[in-house]
């Protein structure tokens, strides 16, 4: 069976033994890609915060496992900060090292961080129950 594919889509073929499956992937606009990357970053920071890992923008650029280029990561951080979905929160003194004074935090989690002991693992576990989405670690 022959089916023409429009030029704005990609055809993927998956093989299992002698059987084949095909999938059509529509190309997304640069705006849609940027929104998806910003959402991915927000979910990642939320899951990392739940696991007790606190990230700065510089640390994400050098050691984050997001599969984004530095430019894409910076654009995603800027997009989230401008939209109010990501804020910098001061770290408690016991977590500060050198220049590291703040962490990147999804704004949905920031209210729960205002409570005393919120950056302990117990506080993070309680705060994560309020978060609507969370990645599995």
d(CA 88, CA 107): 9
In which region does residue 14 sit, left (phi positive, over 0), alpha (psi from -120 to 50) or beta (all else)? beta
- pLDDT tens, residue by residue, 42-55: 999 999 988 988 88
Share the mean pLDDT of the chain.
78
Domain boundaries, the chain: 30-128
Distances in Å between the Cα of 41 and the Cα atoms of 12, 74, 107 are 26, 10, 13
SS (H, E, C) 70-120: HHHHHHHHHHHHHHCCEEEEECCHHHCECCECEEEEEHHHHHHHCCCCCCC
Confidence of residue 27 (pLDDT cuts 50, 70, 90): confident
- pLDDT tens, residue by residue, 70-118: 999 999 999 999 999 999 888 877 778 787 788 899 998 877 665 444 5
The domain defined by 30-128 carries CATH number 1.10.10: yes
Confidence of residue 3 (pLDDT cuts 50, 70, 90): low
């Amino acid at each position: 069976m022959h089916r023409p594919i429009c030029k704005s889509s990609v055809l993927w073929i998956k093989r299992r033994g002698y059987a084949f499956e095909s999938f059509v992937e529509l190309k997304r606009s640069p705006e849609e890609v940027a929104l998806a990357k910003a959402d991915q970053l927000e979910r990642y920071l939320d899951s990392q915060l739940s696991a007790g890992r606190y990230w700065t923008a510089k640390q994400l650029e050098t050691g984050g496992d997001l599969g984004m280029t530095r430019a894409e990561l910076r654009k995603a951080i800027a997009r989230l900060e401008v939209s109010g979905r990501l804020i910098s929160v001061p770290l408690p003194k016991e977590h500060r090292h050198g220049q590291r004074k703040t962490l990147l935090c999804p704004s949905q989690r920031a209210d729960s961080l205002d409570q005393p002991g919120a950056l302990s693992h117990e506080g993070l576990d309680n705060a994560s129950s309020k978060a609507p989405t969370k990645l599995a670690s």
